[in-house]
Chain A
Amino acid sequence: MAEISNYKVAASPHQLDSSNTRKIMLDVLIALLPCLVCGVVFFGLYALLLVVICVATCFVSEQIYNLIRKKPLTFDLSAVVTGLILGLNLPPRAPWYIPVIGGVFAIIVVKMLFGGLGKNFANPAATARVFLLLAYSSLMTQYIGADIAGNILSTDTVTAPTYLGGGTAALAGEFWGVRDYWGYVLQLLFGYVGGCIGETCKVAVIAGAVYLTARRVIDWRIPLVYLLTAAVMVLACYGSASEILLQLLSGGMLFGAVFMATDYATSPKWRYNRILYAIGLGVITVLIRRFGTYPEGTSLAILIMNLLVPVMDKYLLPVRFGQTTKAGKPYPQGMKWSMRGVCLALVLALAVAVPVLALQPMEYVYVKSAQVNEAGDYVFEVEGAAYLADYDYTQPLAYTVTIDSEKYIVSEIIPVTQSTMGYVAELALFLNKTRHEVASLTGEDLSVDSKTSATYTNTELRAMIVECFDYAQRELEGKANG
């Protein structure tokens, strides 16, 4: 028709949001940068090499797959994102082939074989990490301690335990002059601990999360509800309020919550499904950590919840505007109100339980009396008992423990009641040590004299001294300040 001119026409809407797939992936890369920088600063250039190998493997294997399947090459950066996330999930001294195997597995097996971008049912990075953990258990759990700039050029593998694997003994007793608990929290927060390359520095992860939320790339509901649920679960499973921060800040939970649980293709589409998904993540992660054989449960939890996402998306649908039941009544907003209710209940549980647990007067088992002497040091009289299994005999124990209030170390231990048969505590083990050092003494350290049953006595004395420190910190210091 002559009447039709040569104008360009297109379907409405004509005005579009400026975002696109590549910009989103670029945003995720930018958000991951702080984690990468911290990883390199703490664990050295070898860690950077691993990450680069992983990114390159992911990118190249995707293009090779495209070539084989005669598909156009893809430059949407999604493979780079997968590679970077997986790379940051590796231990800092893994051999070079670990990122190669992991990258190929993530891209080829998990992503491309299921149809590529957006079609994979499980998060490629999380699945590859679980795969590597199963296939190379020892290599994948070999962590080194963090050392700012000290690791830069080193490739040494001096394994160091993590908090999840070794408890507080894996952490330093003092960080930036902050002792014990808050010192642990601070070093976990700043990532001055052993762990995977990118997930140790929580400050960097939080910076990435803030950036992604501000750019509206990720839904804040997933990480927030995940951590909230995990906090309540820690409270329920460990029965301790102080454990919450340590658990939330250790391992890959925060990194997984921000970067892996929010993966588009493998998280639900409707906001209330996302809350349900995040609650499931929190529950499973803590259950694995507390009752499973693996110290870390984030990747596994993400993988398990990923499998439930299609079902959630299919059967838990948003209620349509004006939707009615067959009787003509407004359709009940079940998911909406139950999810809001659950979140409220979680917040309330935390808000009520944490202060209650924290304010509860501590029950002192050993400390019988405590006082401040003229030098300002704390003197405790402690009583306990060691059960000697070999002799089926309970040996009563009593000591006078003095803690130096300046240096905060054990300055003197005087036995009051102890074994008359020579099973006495090895006092030198405890003298001049801080609470952290005493608490970190392992069973091996304590069984100095295996011929005698002094080990039981030592173990009991350790518990006594730790309680003395706690007593001093909670009762005596508070009074001195007050």
Chain B
Amino acid sequence: MALFGKGVHPKGHKARTSGAEIGVCPAPRAAYVPLSQHIGAPAVPVVEAGERVLRGQLLAKKAEGLSANVYSPIAGTVKGVVGHIAGGGKKVGHILVESDGTDESVSLSPLPEITPESVLARVEEAGIVGMGGAGFPTAAKLNVSGRADILVVNGAECEPYITCDERIMLEYADELLQGVRRCMLACGAKSAVIGIEKNKPEAIALLSAKCGEGISVRALRTRYPQGAEKQLIYGCTGRVVPEGKLPVDAGVVVVNVHTALSVYRAVDLNIPCYERVMTISGGAAKKPGNFWVKNGTPLRELAALCEADENCARIVSGGPMMGEPVFSLKVCTTKTSSSLLFLDEGECESKVASVCIGCGRCVQACPMGLSPTFIEEALFRKDYAEAKRYGAPSCISCGCCSYVCPAKRFLAQSVKLAKKIIRERNI
């Protein structure tokens, strides 16, 4: 088994929700659907204030270039495009839909025939984006014109706490595999590898039994960041994506298991992408679990669903390693919100940085082979060329360096900043 070296091994915390069947989060009374739930330009609204929409009806159309369609998660009345805070802290355009309680729905028109072109068109039409967290429009990713021969499906789920992908693999195995086949068809890959960390033995056993021809399951070492794109490709295929290149340059396309499931729903069930499975967990959540959550659900409703303490030590959207802290529960879920964590005092540390003792643990831990401590030093000296020499532009922001640092330095942030400056100034 090919392994990437280094990385870290944070405590899993998955036991609380890994056995919980996926429930359904009640539809919100008022859904704030962000126009920008993906990488690229925000979608352009196609509905007007006062218009009645059904669940699954197009709200906003993809803009030119990289973008994705946005669908209504509930049936109700459009109140208009409003400014509402999003996860990053910016006020961005959301379409406010108020529920009328009918939950009437509309589906996409069935595909007349399944061809690579029609599947690609359907993936684009359904507004599917990378649901592992990156939010890259899947249609653009799958459209590689035959340059990829392997499809890697990311079921690693290396972040602690999160179990939504594991539950999908267990509960929607057949649908997921069908989705994988649709993705293979769309991108022209001859085979597919589903990479799953060894801490999910049930999922490995189930998918190995069901996967059939052309698809294989690869058990990966439980090690963060096993699910990071380049590390996953290396673990599943042994191929190394050259620096500054895309996976397709190594003949690989990567999709998340949830993305594959969404592809199945769009192609075979004609359901566009307006809901997803989320894990809600953390020590301060009394009833943690995995739920189908409609896009645009305010986080406060999720907190109420899990009887979580809003005033806990920290609320995190996404995993504890890379997730963003939540500053307001008015923020709404998107296609890429994989989890919401209510961490109590014992689970997250409020750190105070002290001086670097030069232990070199960040260098040992970095899965990309960078030297975070020297990058930070160079950054503080404003010697960006030096920071580049130590590899700052290759940072994948996994946070391993900050995780291991005994001096609790903000290494990941320093490297991220150095990377940003190097890119902006074109050093």
Show the binding face of A for B, using Cβ within 8 Å. 1, 3-5, 7-17, 19-21, 23-24, 76, 78, 116-119, 264-271, 313-314, 317-324, 328, 330
Chain B residues with CB under 8 Å of A3's CB are 85, 328, 330
Query: A116 vs B326: C-alpha distance in the bound complex, in angstroms?
Result: 37
CA distance A265 to B314 in the complex (A): 34
Report the bound CA distance from A458 to B407 in whole Å.
65
Interface set, chain B 1-32, CB cutoff 8 A to A: 4, 8, 10-11
Q: Which of B241-271 contact A (CB under 8 A)?
A: 241-243, 245
Is the pair A12, B363 in contact by a Cβ cutoff of 8 Å? no
Residues of B within 8 Å of A323, CB to CB, are 243, 369, 391, 394
Given known A-B contacts A118-B357, A264-B358, A265-B357, A13 and B371 have beta carbons under 8 A apart: no
Chain B, residues 341-372, CB within 8 Å of chain A (1/0): the string is: 10100011111001111111001101111110
Contact in complex: A322, B323 (CB < 8 Å): no
Q: Contacts A23-B406, A270-B363: A14 and B328 contacting too (C-beta < 8 A)? A: no
**Given the complex of chains A and B, what is the CA–CA distance between A1 and B330 in angstroms?**
12
B354 touches A264 (CB 8 A): no
Which 10 pairs show the lowest CB-CB distances between chains A and B? A269-B360, A9-B325, A13-B399, A265-B358, A15-B320, A320-B369, A269-B363, A14-B320, A318-B369, A264-B359
Q: A436 to nearest B CB, angstroms?
A: 46
25 of the cross-chain contacts (CB-CB < 8 Å) are: A4-B327, A7-B325, A7-B327, A8-B350, A10-B351, A11-B413, A12-B399, A13-B10, A13-B322, A13-B403, A14-B323, A15-B11, A15-B349, A17-B404, A19-B404, A24-B359, A24-B406, A117-B355, A118-B407, A264-B360, A266-B358, A269-B371, A318-B370, A320-B243, A322-B240
Contact A322 B242 (CB under 8 A): yes
Choose one: B4, B343, B367; the contact of A14 (CB below 8 Å). Answer: B343
Contacts of B412 in A (CB 8 A): 11-13
A179 to chain B, nearest CB (A): 46
Contact of A328 among B242, B347, B358 (CB under 8 A): B242
Q: Is the CB of B343 within 8 A of A7?
A: no
Across-interface contacts of B347 in A (CB, < 8 A): 14-15
Is B408 engaged at the interface, CB distance under 8 Å to the other chain?
yes
Q: Which of B368-395 contact A (CB under 8 A)?
A: 368-371, 373-374, 389-391, 394
A320, B240: Cα distance in complex, Å: 11
B408 touches A11 (CB 8 A): no
- Residues from chain B with a CB closer than 8 A to the CB of A20 are 406-408
- Residue B108, interface by CB 8 Å: no
A320 touching B406 in the complex, CB below 8 Å, given contacts A5-B327, A10-B350, A270-B360: no
Asked whether, in the complex, the Cβ of B373 is within 8 Å of the Cβ of A12, the reply is no
Across-interface contacts of B348 in A (CB, < 8 A) = 10, 14-16
A14-B323, A321-B230 known; A21+B369 contact, CB < 8 A: no
Contact B402 A13 (CB under 8 A): yes
In the complex, the chain A residue whose C-beta lies closest to that of B5 is A321
Residue of B nearest to A318 (CB): B369
Q: In whole angstroms, what is the CA distance A324 to B391 when docked?
A: 12
Contacts A1-B85, A12-B320, A323-B243; A21 near B407 (Cβ below 8 A): yes
A-chain residues with CB within 8 Å of residue B373 when the two chains form the complex: 269
Q: Specify which chain A residues have a CB less than 8 angstroms from the CB of B357 in the assembled complex.
A: 21, 24, 78, 117-118, 264-265
Q: A2 to B359: give the CA distance in the assembly, Å.
A: 44
Q: Check A12–B355 contact: CB distance below 8 A.
A: no
Q: Are B160 and A15 touching (Cβ within 8 A)?
A: yes
Q: How long is the Cα–Cα vector from A43 to B412 in the complex, in angstroms? A: 49
| Contacts known (A3-B330, A264-B357); A15 close to B403, Cβ less than 8 A | yes
Closest Cβ neighbor of A16 among chain B residues:
B349
Instruction: Give A246 to B366 CA distance when docked, in angstroms.
Output: 40
What 0/1 pattern do residues 229 to 240 of B give for CB contact below 8 A with A? 011001000001
Q: Does B307 contact A (CB under 8 A)?
A: no
CA distance A440 to B328 in the complex (A): 82
Question: When the two chains form the complex, which single residue of A118, A317, A320, A330 contacts B358, counting CB atoms closer than 8 Å?
Answer: A118
Which A residues lie within 8 Å of B189 (CB)? none
CA distance A8 to B330 in the complex (A): 15
A12 touches B406 (CB 8 A): no
- CA of A332 to CA of B185, assembled, Å: 37
B321 within 8 A of A: yes
Additional pairs, 13, CB under 8 Å, beyond known A21-B406, A321-B367: A3-B330, A8-B350, A10-B325, A14-B347, A15-B160, A16-B348, A17-B404, A20-B408, A23-B406, A24-B357, A317-B371, A322-B394, A330-B240
Question: What distance in Å separates the Cβ of B409 from its nearest Cβ neighbour in chain A?
Answer: 11
In angstroms, how far is the closest chain B Cβ from the Cβ of A74?
9
Bound CA span A323–B310, Å: 45
> Which residues from B are CB-within-8-Å of A271?
364
B398 → chain A, closest Cβ, in Å? 9
Q: B245 to chain A: which residues have CB within 8 Å?
A: 322
A313: chain B residues at CB < 8 Å are 371, 374
| B315 contacts partner chain A, Cβ-Cβ < 8 Å | yes
Residues in chain A near residue B368, CB distance under 8 A? 320-322
Nearest Cβ distance between residue A204 and chain B, in whole angstroms? Answer: 24
Q: Are B323 and A317 within 8 A (Cβ)?
A: no
Smallest Cβ-Cβ distance to A218: which chain B residue: B359
Q: A7-B314, A21-B406, A321-B367 are in contact. Are A12 and B324 (CB under 8 A)?
A: yes
B35 within 8 A of A: no
A322 contacts B406, C-beta separation under 8 Å: no
Which residues of B in the span 298-339 have a Cβ within 8 Å of any Cβ on A? 310-311, 313-316, 320-330
Rounded to whole Å, the gap between the CB of B5 and the closest CB of chain A is 9
By the criterion CB–CB under 8 Å, are A76 and B406 in contact?
Answer: no
In the complex, the answer to whether B413 meets A317 with C-beta atoms within 8 Å is: no
Q: How far is the CA of A288 from the CA of B315 in the complex (A)?
A: 59
The complex places the Cα of A119 from the Cα of B355 at a distance, in Å, of: 9
In the complex, A76→B155 CA distance in Å? 42
Does B136 make an interface contact (CB < 8 A)? no
Which listed residue (B242, B363, B370) contacts A324, Cβ 8 A? B242
Complex CA distance for A314 and B355, rounded to whole angstroms: 20
**Closest approach, in angstroms, between the C-beta of B237 and any C-beta of chain A?**
13
Given contacts A14-B314, A15-B403, contact A319 B8 (CB under 8 A): no
CB nearest to A5 among chain B residues: B328
A9 vs B357: C-alpha distance when bound (angstroms): 26
Question: Could you tell me the distance between the alpha carbons of A78 and B406 in the complex, rounded to whole angstroms?
Answer: 13
CA distance A15 to B371 in the complex (A): 21
> Using Cβ atoms and an 8 Å threshold, which residues of chain B touch A12?
316, 320-325, 399, 402, 412
Q: Is B274 an interface residue (CB 8 A)?
A: no
Separation in Å of the B368 CB from the closest CB of chain A? 5
Give complex CA distance A12, B366 in Å. 16
B291 within 8 A of A: no
CB closest residue in chain A, given B9 = A17
Q: Which of B231, B240, B316, B406 contacts A17 (CB 8 A)?
A: B406
A119 to B407, CA, bound (A): 14
B71, CB-defined interface residue at 8 Å: no
Report whether B160 and A16 are in contact in the complex, using a CB–CB cutoff of 8 Å.
no
Interchain CB contact under 8 A, B358 and A269: yes
Quick one: which of B355, B360, B391 contacts A320, CB cutoff 8 A? B391
- Nearest to B351 among chain A residues (CB) is A16
Once the chains bind, are B360 and A317 in contact (CB under 8 Å)?
Answer: no
Give every chain A residue within 8 A of B367 (Cβ-Cβ).
321
- Which of A11, A14, A319 is packed against the most chain B CB atoms within 10 Å? A14
Q: A3 to B402, alpha carbons, bound, how many Å?
A: 30
Q: Which residues of A contact B360 (CB under 8 A)?
A: 264, 267-270
**Chain B positions within 8 Å of A264 at CB level:** 357-360
A318 & B350 in contact (Cβ 8 Å cutoff): no
When the two chains form the complex, which single residue of B10, B364, B410 contacts A11, counting CB atoms closer than 8 Å? B410
